Amino acid sequence: MTAHLMNRNRSSRPGTRRPAPPALVLVGHGSRDPRALSTVRTLMERIRELRPGLPVHLGHIELNEPLLPDTLAALGTGDAVLVPLLLSRGHHVKRDIPEAAAASSAHTRIAGPLGPHPLLVETLYERLVEAGWRTPDAAERRTSAVVLAAAGSRDPDAAVDTRRTAGLLADRLGVPVVPAYASGSAPTVADAVRALAARGRPRVAVASYFTAPGRFATECAAAAPGLASPPLGAHPAMAHLTLHRYDEALTNTLAATA
């Protein structure tokens, strides 16, 4: 720890150059929907505006170029922090990304997924408001609910993370929020809507818990009985959250080596 502080102090002396920060590598899932890549690129630009001088790169797990192994290969033996643009723990976070990092020559740290986090909840709330959600009065509150539509995963930790986000969003909205999934888990959005209606809550909105447009987001929105919010996208809070995960990974590394 002392050596680290000394090195940091030397780099801050007048006339010395601070070492370049580790690159930020955004790890997107990938999608055949061209809007997804456009959304991620917009997010990259917002991150660059917030943190000038930080090298920001993009690598996909599948379906889009550049693929993550290619992005890491281009970094050579440089330092990088990989930030998954994923909303919960699951196979990609636990296996695919670490395996790609281990196979590369780059010196990498892997940040946690974006969710759960209060900034995601605030983004979900604002997307709902953009779509037409208004705070229900006392009478409407008893008949209202929200379905949190997520991609889904067979990993139980992913469901835990999604349920936590649903709980935080319920606190924010003041109505029940039920998780539902496009694949890999139950219930589906349609099943969740029917179950809520059977419980006397026919006023149901669907909150799209996806980082970008794509097939799953489109299918979940189509199952909404009425209001459905757009994906989280390049909302300013997403850029701040991405940088928070980047900084968090660096801080955790320093703490582990102190």
CB 145 within 8 A of CB 179: no
Using the CB atoms, write b or e for 34-66: b if 16+ within 10 Å.
Answer: eebbebbeebbebbeeebeebbbbbbbbeebee
> In the chain, count of helices (H) and strands (E)?
11, 7
3-state SS track over 181-243: ECCCCCCCHHHHHHHHHHCCCCEEEEEECCCCCCHHHHHHHHCCCCCECCCCCCCHHHHHHHH
Give the residue numbers annotated as catalytic, written as ranges: 29
Tokens 């953009």 belong to residue: 130
Write out the two tokens for 207.
């909150």
Token pair 């379905």 is found at: 147
